[in-house]
């Protein structure tokens, strides 16, 4: 049975449709009802995968039999001509990918190689000569991709981390993607020590590791002090939760925070009340019931937040700090 894979169908969730332009679910009951309805409808179509629901919107990564594709399109209200998901790009094995890029490098050929990830992913690692758009969402990546590839319909295009089907649906002749992604390429390189990796640095991962090493190259800097570093972390203060790069020395010095006065005050007060965690312990300060003070864009862009980088933390009201401290000291926020 032919399947449309998760990476190919990822674009369905990012394509504007009436379902994704609807207002947020106003109550938990309505959200739960919507989830149950999705489970039921997708189950009938034999679809499996994951759906993420957040204040910024809905993201789905699905696998669907090509025989049920028409039904899925009708369910989402997508026009059949929007994207032809049966137009599959050429999936190069890590070895084929490496050889193709190596030949282009040796011949000094100009190729179009696009990194389709978000800015914080490509900051710590990337393929040599790749174009790395400064974007926050996959939707933004697609817009930039279309601009980059305009007029190159008859040229070979290389890209990693999804979107190949979109170009093929718009008249492009040769689109190559990396089968298995960066992780598979890393395994290929590690099992062939004589091969020099064309990928430099780490591969960002969406789990507690926040990254895996592909090579020992460090291509990024600590956002706190500027020293070479490629380790992402989240600010220990969950009402900040900033995603940023921080070296071990700064992590210790700043109590695993981003270093803002807001976060240092909250975290230090928390430790005074409930005790500091043992060295190396993964302990988060979670003032109950208080939402993150940053939107998605600020939360993943340290340059907008960290003062050393020119950021401005003044958008956090003083009363917010006082409110949190009052709740911690009064015991209204439970400890450990």
* 326/249 same-domain check: yes
Highest mean pLDDT among 1-5, 85-89, 189-193: 189-193
* Mean pLDDT, range 133-139, rounded to an integer: 88
Model confidence pLDDT, tens digit, residues 16-54? 332 333 445 567 788 788 888 888 888 999 998 888 776
Nearest to 75 by CA among 101, 38, 50, 109: 38
95 and 195 assigned to the same domain: yes
Residue 77 has pLDDT above 50, yes or no: yes
State which H helix or E strand residue 53 sits in: strand 48-54
Residues 71, 100 share a domain: no
Q: What confidence score (pLDDT) does residue 313 get?
A: 57
The domain boundary, picked from 76, 103, 132, lies at: 76
| Plot region of 255 (φ>0 → left; ψ -120 to 50 → alpha; else → beta) | left
Residues 136-166 as b or e (16 or more Cβ within 10 Å = b): bebeebbebbeeebeeeeeebbbbbbbbbbb
What domain count does the chain have? 3
In a domain, 336, yes or no: no
pLDDT band at 2 (very low <50, low <70, confident <90, very high): very low
Boundary residue ending a domain (200, 215, 241): 200
Give just the sign of the alpha carbon dihedral 64, 65, 69, 70: negative
Q: Report yes or no on 321 lying in a domain.
A: yes
Q: In the prediction, which pLDDT does 26 show?
A: 61
Range name among 240-249, 305-314, 316-325 with the lowest pLDDT average: 316-325
Q: Which of 200, 221, 244 delimits the end of a domain?
A: 200
Domain CATH for 167: 3.40.250.10
The average pLDDT across 230-240 equals 93
Q: Does 112 share its domain with 175?
A: yes
Mean pLDDT along residues 299-303: 91
336/333 Cα distance (integer angstroms): 10
The overall average pLDDT reported for the chain is: 83
Residues 323 and 249 in one domain: yes
Question: What pLDDT is attached to residue 21?
Answer: 35
Task: Check: CB of residue 64 under 8 Å from CB of residue 9.
Answer: yes
* DSSP calls for 181-229: HHHHHHHHHHT-TTSPPSEEEEE--SSTT--EESSS----B-TTT--B-
Does residue 86 have a pLDDT over 60?
yes
259 and 299 inside one domain: yes
Q: Quick check: helix, strand or coil at residue 93? A: coil
pLDDT of residue 170 exceeding 80: yes
| Residues annotated as part of the active site | 161
pLDDT of residue 30: 80
pLDDT of residue 314: 47
If one compares 23 and 82, the residue with the highest pLDDT of the two is 82
Residue 209 lies in a domain: no
**What gap in Å lies between CA 48 and CA 28, rounded to an integer?**
24
Whether the CB-CB separation of 69 and 46 falls below 8 Å is answered with no
Q: For residue 210, is it within any domain?
A: no
Task: Summarize the confidence of residues 166-176 as an average pLDDT.
Answer: 88
Domain that holds residue 288: 232-330
199 with 206: CB under 8 angstroms?
Answer: no
Verify that 195 and 267 share a domain, yes or no. no
Tell whether 98 and 194 lie within a shared domain: yes
243 and 301 share a domain? yes
Q: Name the band, by pLDDT with cuts 50, 70 and 90, for residue 134.
A: very high
pLDDT band at 331 (very low <50, low <70, confident <90, very high): low
The pLDDT, as a whole number, for residue 223 is 95
pLDDT-based confidence at 82, cuts 50/70/90? low
227 inside domain: no
Residues 240 and 314 in one domain: yes
Tell me if 34 is assigned to some domain: yes
Of the listed ranges 6-15, 87-96, 285-294, 325-334, the least confidently predicted one is: 6-15
Rounded to 5, what percent of the chain is helix, strand, coil? 40, 15, 45
Q: Between β-strands 48-54 and 57-65, what pairing exists: parallel, antiparallel or unpaired?
A: antiparallel
Identify whether 215 is part of a domain: no
Q: What pLDDT does residue 28 have?
A: 76
pLDDT above 90 (res 163): no
Whole-number percent of the chain with pLDDT over 90 = 42
Asked if the structure places residue 62 within a domain, the reply is yes
């Amino acid at each position: 049975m032919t399947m449309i894979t998760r990476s190919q169908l990822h674009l369905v969730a990012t394509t504007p449709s009436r379902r994704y332009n609807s207002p947020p679910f106003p109550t938990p009951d309505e959200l739960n009802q919507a989830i149950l309805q999705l489970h039921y409808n997708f189950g009938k179509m034999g679809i499996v995968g994951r759906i993420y629901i957040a204040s910024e919107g809905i993201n789905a990564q699905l696998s669907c039999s090509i025989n049920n594709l028409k039904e899925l399109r009708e369910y989402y209200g997508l026009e059949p001509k929007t994207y032809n998901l049966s137009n599959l790009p050429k999936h190069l094995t890590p070895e084929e990918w490496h050889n193709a890029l190596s030949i282009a490098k040796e011949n000094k050929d100009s190729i179009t190689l696009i990194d389709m990830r978000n800015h914080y992913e490509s900051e710590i690692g990337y393929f040599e000569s790749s174009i790395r758009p400064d974007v926050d969402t996959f939707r933004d990546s697609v817009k930039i991709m279309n601009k980059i590839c305009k007029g190159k319909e008859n040229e070979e295009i290389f890209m990693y981390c999804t979107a190949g089907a979109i170009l093929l649906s718009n008249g492009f002749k040769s689109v190559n993607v990396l089968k298995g992604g960066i992780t598979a390429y890393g395994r290929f390189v590690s099992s062939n020590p004589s091969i020099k990796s064309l990928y430099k640095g780490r591969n960002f991962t969406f789990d507690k590791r926040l990254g895996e090493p592909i090579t020992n190259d460090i291509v990024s800097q600590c956002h706190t002090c500027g020293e070479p570093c490629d380790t992402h972390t989240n600010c220990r203060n969950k009402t900040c939760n900033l995603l940023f790069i921080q070296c071990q020395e700064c992590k210790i010095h700043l109590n695993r925070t981003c270093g803002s006065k807001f976060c240092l005050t909250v975290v230090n007060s928390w430790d005074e009340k409930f005790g500091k965690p043992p060295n190396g312990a993964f302990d988060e300060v979670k003032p109950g019931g208080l939402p993150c003070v940053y939107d998605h864009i600020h939360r993943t862009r340290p340059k907008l937040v960290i003062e050393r980088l020119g950021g401005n933390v003044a958008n956090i009201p003083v009363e917010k700090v006082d409110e949190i401290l009052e709740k911690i000291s009064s015991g209204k926020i439970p400890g450990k």
